[in-house]
């Protein structure tokens, strides 16, 4: 738990500040003006574990728009992430063999609100909120129609952390062989906060 950024209203959504890969960490360039000071507070902690690179304005990109699936990284084209932000990720990650794919976002703030990469190569998606044509069609798992906000799940190993208000989604994931861990997020959900928003998860 870090003490930095406590005076900033959205600091709890720490995922938006950085993306941490095996090779490096990349500090994001938040799309909301009120959040632009947050990455600098997080960077010293990440430098203990990774080489750090930065994306700077006029490029904007939030970590909530970045879905990592092996060596392919899907980036939401959203109100918080612009074309320059996506290109900056391409430039930084090209030496490491990553492929970057833009995903139009139309119904939610961030890509991860409607798309999560599962450990078996599939994607949990709300296809009403994003353009799924750039995702592998035969690998899509649709969220239940009455649980439209359940596309954001946090994968740790073979366990999947899911908001406890989405039992049908947990049942669907269980049929795929995953162990689901329910957590309460009712207050964070009021600000479109999902389970991925509240942490940066990586192996040291």
User: What are the tokens at 68?
Assistant: 């990592």
User: Is 134 exposed, middle or buried, given 0-12, 13-18 or 19+ CB atoms closer than 10 A?
Assistant: exposed
- Residue in the structure block whose two tokens are 């990109």: 61
Please report, for residues 27, 78, 96, 111, the alpha-carbon distance to residue 105 in angstroms, rounded to integers and kept in the order given: 22, 5, 26, 6
Nearest one of 106, 40, 117, 100 to 79, comparing CA atoms = 106
3-state helix, strand, coil split of the chain in percent (to 5) is 30, 25, 45
Mean model confidence pLDDT for the chain? 95
Q: Around Cβ 138, how many Cβ atoms within 10 Å?
A: 6
Rounded-to-integer distance, Cα 17 and Cα 38, Å: 6
Query: With 80 as the cut, is the pLDDT of residue 185 above it?
Result: yes
What is the value of pTM for the model shown? 0.95
User: Mean pLDDT throughout 76-90?
Assistant: 98
User: Mean pLDDT throughout 149-166?
Assistant: 95
94-109 tens-digit pLDDT: 999 999 999 999 999 9
> Is there a catalytic annotation at residue 197?
yes
Ordered by where they begin, the domains of the chain are 14-198 (3.75.10.10)
Q: Grade residue 2 by pLDDT with cuts at 50, 70 and 90.
A: low
4-18 tens-digit pLDDT: 777 777 788 999 999
Q: Identify the pLDDT of residue 186.
A: 84
Q: Identify the pLDDT of residue 86.
A: 98
Residues 112, 152 contacting (CB under 8 angstroms): yes
- Of 108, 110, 115, 180, which one is the catalytic site residue? 110
Q: Identify the pLDDT of residue 158.
A: 83
Query: With 90 as the cut, is the pLDDT of residue 191 above it?
Result: no
Query: With 80 as the cut, is the pLDDT of residue 58 above it?
Result: yes
Residues 153, 165 contacting (CB under 8 angstroms): no
Q: Around Cβ 89, how many Cβ atoms within 10 Å?
A: 25
Query: With 60 as the cut, is the pLDDT of residue 1 above it?
Result: no
60-70 tens-digit pLDDT: 999 999 999 99
- Of 11, 115, 180, 197, which one is the catalytic site residue? 197
- Counted residue by residue, the chain has a size of 204
Q: What percent of the chain has pLDDT over 70?
A: 99
Q: SS3 for 181?
A: strand
Q: Grade residue 43 by pLDDT with cuts at 50, 70 and 90.
A: very high
Query: With 70 as the cut, is the pLDDT of residue 189 above it?
Result: yes
């Amino acid at each position: 738990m870090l003490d930095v950024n406590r005076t900033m209203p959205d600091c709890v959504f720490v995922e938006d500040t950085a993306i941490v890969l095996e090779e490096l960490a990349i500090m994001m360039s938040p799309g909301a003006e009120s959040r632009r000071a947050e990455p600098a507070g997080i960077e010293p902690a990440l430098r203990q574990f990774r080489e750090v690179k930065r994306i700077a304005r006029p490029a904007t990109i939030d970590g909530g728009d970045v879905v990592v699936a092996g060596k392919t990284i899907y980036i939401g084209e959203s109100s918080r992430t612009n074309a320059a932000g996506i290109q900056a990720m391409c430039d930084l990650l090209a030496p490491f063999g990553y492929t970057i794919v833009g995903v139009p976002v139309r119904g939610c703030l961030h890509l991860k609100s409607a798309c999560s990469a599962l450990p078996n190569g599939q994607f949990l998606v709300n296809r009403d909120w994003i353009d799924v044509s750039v995702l592998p069609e035969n690998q899509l798992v649709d969220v239940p129609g009455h649980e439209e906000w359940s596309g954001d799940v946090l994968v740790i190993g073979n366990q999947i952390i899911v908001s406890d208000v989405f039992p049908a989604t947990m049942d669907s994931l269980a049929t795929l062989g995953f162990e689901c861990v329910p957590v309460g997020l009712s207050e964070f959900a009021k600000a479109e906060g999902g389970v991925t928003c509240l942490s940066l998860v990586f192996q040291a």
